[in-house]
Amino acid sequence: MATKAHLARAERLQGATGALATAAMAAMDAKLPWFGTLSAQDRSWIGLVAQSGISAFVEWFRDPEAHSSMPTRIFGSAPREFTRVISLHQTVDLVRTTIETIENTIGTLLPPDDVPIVHEAMQRYAREVAFAAATVYAQAAEMRGAWDARLEALLVDSVIRGEADESVRSRASALGWAGAVGTTDSVTTGGAEVAVVVGRAPAADAPQSGHGSSNVADMVRHAAREAGADALCAVQGDRLVLVLGGTSKPVEIVQKLARWFGPGPIVVGPVVKDLMSAVTSARAAVAGLRAVAAWPGAPRPVQADELLPERSLSGDGHARRQLATDVYGPLTVGDGVLLDTVSAYLDSGGSIEATARAMFIHANTVRYRLKRVADLTGYNPQHPRDGFTLRVALTLGRLLNPEPGSTVL
């Protein structure tokens, strides 16, 4: 129980709170350059917090045991937005300035016998206030983190669903996406290029999972940015979706991130010009993940365009049109001799000599034409995997465009 002398000391300290608060505000204005740049409303909130802190100190000084939680409540008078106005470092400066002002002022406001006792109590109280400030900012950071995670998940979902609009850019910018603004510099340097990556999410009990979807997204995003790319990440059920930006070589980035995905294939969509066009990459990546089971030997990661035959067979209309237009179409130009040659080569089981005999031409002519096919389409008929792609492309091209030389639909 407090003695009469201590209660009297507390009353004298109570009478000095107004002068202490005024002196603290004057010291902030004089010692902290950034304080004067705040708006009048923000300065008034800071003054209210300072006044609340000094009054709380008096109550705590009167009976520390009865008011042990008082230091943690002094920030309750400030709005939640207060943590966005000033940083934790600036809050520490405010607390330090207030304490120094009290220590320098109480000698003129209190009797000499009260000063050392109040000074010692202030040191203990300041430590509790420092912990309270750290708690306030930690809670604010946690709330912002949870909000950012929800915003990021909505943004990735918009990309996957093809609902990207101008709001996507502003939301991505709020999350720190460097290429969201689409400035000239970002375009010329490749900063706006985007690719969507889809794979399996890690199991909840996997060592790298972080025991939560938000933790997985945080770790993948951090690893991607260390590799030199922007990243947006979300876990959608058993699927991990990653939107990479600022790189024209997403496969190289994903190779560094593969350990954060769950077991199974990882499909990288084609690179598109910006976030607004990311639905094209997302559509290809999702279709690729659905079809990749048909190619057991697919690399990890695998590009969605490497899965065009499997995607077309699984019902992906975009892959069918791409094969018919970009692979079959160039072979129909002119007299169609390249189309006839590659068709005969595939029908002969990949034998150049058999193809030459079937077409009554020299074997070197067959080799030359096959090289032209590879140059035009990007697929070498003499490679088994490319030959399979060409076979599917020829089949689809003939179905969609029965007349060689006419425009592919």
Is this prediction's pTM over 0.85? no
Q: What share of the chain is helix, strand, coil (3-state, %, to 5)?
A: 65, 5, 25
- Give per-residue pLDDT as tens, 215-242: 777 788 788 888 888 888 888 888 899 9
Across the chain, mean pLDDT equals 80
Query: Is residue 366 in some structural domain?
Result: yes
Is 139 found in the same domain as 36?
yes
Whether residue 319 is predicted with pLDDT greater than 70 in this model: the reply is yes
CATH of the domain at 52: 1.10.490
CB 123 within 8 A of CB 103: no
**Percentage with pLDDT > 90 across the chain:** 35
CATH of the domain at 281: 3.30.70.2730
Residue at token pair 């809050």: 91
Bridge partners, residue 199, by sequence: 240, 266
How many residues comprise the chain? 409
How far separated are the first and last CA of the chain, in Å rounded? Answer: 93
Of the residues 287, 306, 325, which one is the last residue of a structural domain? 306
Is 268 found in the same domain as 390?
no
- φ and ψ of 43, to 5 deg: -65, -35
Single-letter amino acid code for the residue at 370: L
Query: Is residue 136 in some structural domain?
Result: yes
Whether residue 187 is predicted with pLDDT greater than 50 in this model: the reply is no
Q: DSSP readout, 363-392?
A: HHHHHHHHHHHHHHHS--TTSHHHHHHHHH
Bridge partners, residue 401, by sequence: none
Query: Mean pLDDT over residues 328-339, rounded?
Result: 91
Query: Is residue 56 in some structural domain?
Result: yes
- The total of structural domains in the chain comes to 3
Is 103 found in the same domain as 10?
yes
Residue at token pair 């009469």: 4
Of the residues 280, 306, 332, which one is the last residue of a structural domain? 306
Preceding omega of 404 cis (within 30 degrees of 0):
no
Query: Is residue 167 in some structural domain?
Result: no
Q: DSSP readout, 167-227?
A: HHHHHHHHTT-TTSS--HHHHHTTTT-EEEEEEEPPPTTSTTSTTSHHHHHHHHHHHHHHT
Quote the CA–CA distance of 13 and 205 in Å, as a whole number.
57
Quote the CA–CA distance of 336 and 341 in Å, as a whole number.
9
Query: Is residue 407 in some structural domain?
Result: no
Whether residue 142 is predicted with pLDDT greater than 60 in this model: the reply is no
Whether residue 354 is predicted with pLDDT greater than 80 in this model: the reply is yes
pLDDT at position 407 is 46
pLDDT at position 318 is 94
Is 340 found in the same domain as 300?
no
Q: Domain containing 60: what range?
A: 4-143
Query: Is residue 211 in some structural domain?
Result: yes
